[in-house]
Amino acid sequence: MHGQVSNDTPVGVPADLMWDVYRGFELGRLVDKIAADVLGRVEFLEGDGGVGSIVKFTSAAEPGSGYMKEIFTKIDDENRVKETEVIEGGYKALGFDVVRIRLEILEKDSESCIVRSSIEYEGDDKLADVVSRVSVKPLEIMAEIVGKHLSENKSTL
């Protein structure tokens, strides 16, 4: 079984500014600074924010047990695409073999963009009952919070 869930979140900041935050560790730093109580905490375990870097996200909604580790597998500055793969916890702990997260920043106009958040999953057919739990809602909330922060503080990250 495989599938994907996706959502487009409009954001009132330029695509380049949003990408500067999303492309590496800055996204985790900003989430920790402005949304840890809503989304959770981010720890940087390995790397410099480039491909091969590993982060651990601990959910605010499920303290204690709700965590996942991700490895950055793709950072495409030209197309503003970042992909990660969950290597431990999260949806992987529910039994999925592969869980990929794709974040894409699409330019809408010179002052706004769209954050396209997708989760792709693969696993055994017996996971059919669990598929409904796969959601991009936290990624949508993150885009909204980060976008609002950047809109209000365009000169500072």
Q: What is the pTM of this model?
A: 0.92
Query: Can you read off the two tokens belonging to residue 138?
Result: 């936290």
Residues 19, 77 contacting (CB under 8 angstroms): yes
Which helix (H) or strand (E) segment holds residue 55: the answer is strand 54-59
pLDDT the model gives residue 138: 92
Q: How far apart are CA 61 and CA 39, in angstroms?
A: 7
End-to-end Cα distance, the chain:
40
Segment 139-148, tens digit of pLDDT = 999 999 999 9
Residues 13, 147 contacting (CB under 8 angstroms): yes
Say if residue 149's pLDDT is above 60: yes
Say if residue 109's pLDDT is above 90: yes
Q: How far apart are CA 143 and CA 157, in angstroms?
A: 15
Q: How far apart are CA 3 and CA 128, in angstroms?
A: 11
Which helix (H) or strand (E) segment holds residue 2: the answer is strand 2-11
Residue of 33, 56, 69, 82 marked active site: 82
Q: Is 82 a catalytic residue?
A: yes
Q: How far apart are CA 14 and CA 11, in angstroms?
A: 8
